C-alpha cells in the first residue's frame, strides 16, 4: 500500500521575535502561510528491513539532502511509531523542490508530511490533537503545516491558530515571487546573531499591537509584511537588502525575507506581469538562483 502527500513550503508574512527564553529558544508572534509550491513525499509499506534492522528508510532525489536518521522524515516516523506502537516497514521517497537553509520550512513540512502519510497508512491511529503533539516535538515550525491555511504562530512557533476569516480573505488568491540567492542561512546561526546584537527584539505587547492593528483593519497583505530577523541576516548578507530596496523602488512591490532566510519574496498584485521583475532579479543575482512564483494557500 502507498500514499503520496504534498509537503508545502511556507512564507512568513509577519515575524516578530519578541525575546529569548530560559530554554534557549525564542518567543515569537508570526503570521505564516503555506504555499501551493512544495515537495512530495511517497510512503510505501512492505519490503525488507534496512541493513541496520530499521523499519523506516528514506530515498531522496537530491543528493545534498541527508537521507539518514538526521532527516526529519525519519525522526517523525520514529516519533509516530513510538507514540502509536504501529511499526511496519515503510519506504519513503522524497521529491525535493524546496531549497534548504531557505526559511521556507522545508524540513518541518516534510516531517508533517511523514506523520500524515503514516497516519493514513495505519488507519488514522492519531487524531488531530495527537498529530499536533508529535509535530510540536519535532520542530518549532511543524504545527503550522497541519492547518493548510494561513495561521498565527506564538510561543516558539508551536502554538498555532487559524487567522480570523476576514484576515484570511485579505490574503486569499495572493501570490508571491520567491527568490533565494546561492547561499542558505542556518536558523540557529540567525537566532545566534539576534542574541549577539541584542537590539532587534520587538517586545511582545508591541508585536501583538502591531499584529492586532492589521487583523482588525482593512489594510491589504502588503502592510502586514514585517520581519525583525532581517537586520541580523542583512548585516552579513548585504546582497539581500540591496536587492529588496531596488525592487521596492523600481517596481513598487512589497518585499521581505521569509523566516530566518535566505529566501526573500515580493508580494504580487493580481495579474501582475512578473517577467520584468524576474529579469531584474536575474540581472542582479545571476542565473544560479532559486526563483519561483507561488500562491498562498
Ligand atoms: O525548532 P527547530 O528545531 O526548528 O529550531 C532550530 C533552532 O532554531 C533551535 O535550536 C534554536 O536555536 C532556534 N530557534 C529559536 N527559537 C525559535 C525557533 C528556533 O531560538 N522559536
Domains of the chain are 2-162 (3.30.230.10), 167-295 (3.30.70.890)
Q: How far is the CA of 237 from the centre of ligand 1 (A)?
A: 20
Please give the sequence-ordered ranges of beta strands (E in DSSP) within the chain, or none if there are none.
2-20, 26-45, 56-60, 90-95, 151-154, 159-162, 175-180, 226-227, 254-257, 264-268, 290-295
- What are the φ/ψ torsions at residue 195 (nearest 5 degrees)? -60, -45
Residue 39 to residues 28, 59, 290, Cα–Cα distance (Å): 26, 13, 15
**What is the distance between the alpha carbons of residues 10 and 220, in angstroms, rounded to a whole number?**
19
Q: Of residues 10, 75, 96, 180, which has the active-site annotation? A: 10
Q: Name which of 242, 243, 230, 250 is nearest 185 in CA terms.
A: 230
Residue 10, pLDDT score: 98
Weakly modelled stretches of the chain, pLDDT under 50: none
Residue 271, pLDDT score: 73
Residue 51, pLDDT score: 56
Q: Of residues 39, 96, 141, 180, which has the active-site annotation? A: 141
Do the annotations mark residue 286 as ligand-binding?
Answer: no
Do the annotations mark residue 109 as ligand-binding?
Answer: yes
Residue minimizing CA distance to atom 7 of ligand 1: 188
Residue that has been written with the C-alpha cell 499591537 in this structure: 209
C-alpha cell belonging to residue 104: 521556507
What ipTM did this prediction achieve? 0.96
Q: How far is the CA of 188 from the centre of ligand 1 (A)?
A: 6
Do the annotations mark residue 106 as ligand-binding?
Answer: yes
Confirm if 6 and 120 have CB atoms less than 8 A apart: no
Do the annotations mark residue 101 as ligand-binding?
Answer: yes
**What is the distance between the alpha carbons of residues 228 and 17, in angstroms, rounded to a whole number?**
7
**What is the distance between the alpha carbons of residues 210 and 221, in angstroms, rounded to a whole number?**
14
Give the SS3 label for residue 239.
Answer: helix
141 is catalytic: yes
> How many Å separate Cα 9 from the centre of its chain?
5
* Cβ neighbours, 10 Å, residue 291: 16
**What is the distance between the alpha carbons of residues 20 and 23, in angstroms, rounded to a whole number?**
8
Report the pocket of ligand 1 as residue ranges, CB < 6 Å: 25-26, 28, 139-141, 156-157, 187-188, 191
C-alpha cell belonging to residue 218: 482593512
* Cβ neighbours, 10 Å, residue 153: 23
The structure's pTM equals 0.96
* Cβ neighbours, 10 Å, residue 252: 10
Residue minimizing CA distance to atom 20 of ligand 1: 25
Q: How far is the CA of 28 from the centre of ligand 1 (A)?
A: 11
Confirm if 135 and 112 have CB atoms less than 8 A apart: yes
Residue 54, pLDDT score: 67
Helix residue ranges, H only, 172-254: 187-197, 204-216, 230-236, 239-251
Confirm if 116 and 76 have CB atoms less than 8 A apart: no
Amino acid at each position: 500500500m502507498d500514499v503520496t502527500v504534498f509537503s508545502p513550503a511556507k512564507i512568513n508574512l509577519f515575524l516578530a521575535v519578541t525575546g529569548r527564553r530560559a530554554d534557549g529558544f525564542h518567543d515569537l508572534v508570526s503570521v505564516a502561510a503555506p504555499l501551493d509550491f512544495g515537495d512530495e513525499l511517497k510512503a510505501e509499506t512492505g519490503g525488507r528491513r534496512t541493513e541496520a534492522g530499521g523499519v523506516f528508510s528514506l530515498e531522496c532525489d537530491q543528493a545534498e539532502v541527508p537521507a539518514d536518521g538526521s532527516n526529519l522524515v525519519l525522526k517523525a516516523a520514529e516519533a509516530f511509531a513510538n507514540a502509536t506502537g504501529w511499526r511496519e516497514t515503510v519506504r519513503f521517497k522524497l521529491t525535493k523542490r524546496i531549497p534548504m537553509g531557505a526559511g521556507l520550512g522545508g524540513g518541518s513540512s516534510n516531517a508533517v508530511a511523514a506523520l500524515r502519510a503514516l497516519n493514513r497508512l495505519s488507519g488514522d491511529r492519531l487524531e488531530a490533537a495527537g498529530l499536533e503533539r508529535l509535530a510540536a516535538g519535532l520542530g518549532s515550525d511543524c504545527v503550522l503545516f497541519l492547518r493548510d491555511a494561513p495561521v498565527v504562530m506564538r510561543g516558539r512557533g508551536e502554538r498555532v491558530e487559524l487567522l480570523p476569516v476576514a484576515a484570511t480573505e485579505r490574503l486569499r488568491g495572493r501570490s508571491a515571487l520567491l527568490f533565494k540567492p546561492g547561499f542558505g542561512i542556518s536558523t540557529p546561526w540567525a537566532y545566534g546573531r539576534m542574541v549577539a546584537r541584542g537590539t532587534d527584539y520587538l517586545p511582545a505587547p508591541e508585536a501583538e499591537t502591531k499584529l492586532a492593528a492589521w487583523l482588525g483593519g482593512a489594510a491589504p497583505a502588503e502592510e502586514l509584511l514585517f520581519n525583525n530577523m532581517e537586520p541580523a541576516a542583512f548585516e552579513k548578507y548585504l546582497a539581500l537588502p540591496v536587492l529588496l530596496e531596488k525592487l521596492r523602488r523600481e517596481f513598487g512591490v512589497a518585499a521581505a525575507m521569509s523566516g530566518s532566510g535566505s529566501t526573500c519574496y515580493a508580494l504580487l498584485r493580481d495579474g501582475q506581469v512578473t517577467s520584468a521583475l524576474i529579469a531584474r532579479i536575474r540581472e542582479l543575482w545571476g542565473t544560479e538562483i532559486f526563483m519561483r512564483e507561488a500562491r498562498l494557500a
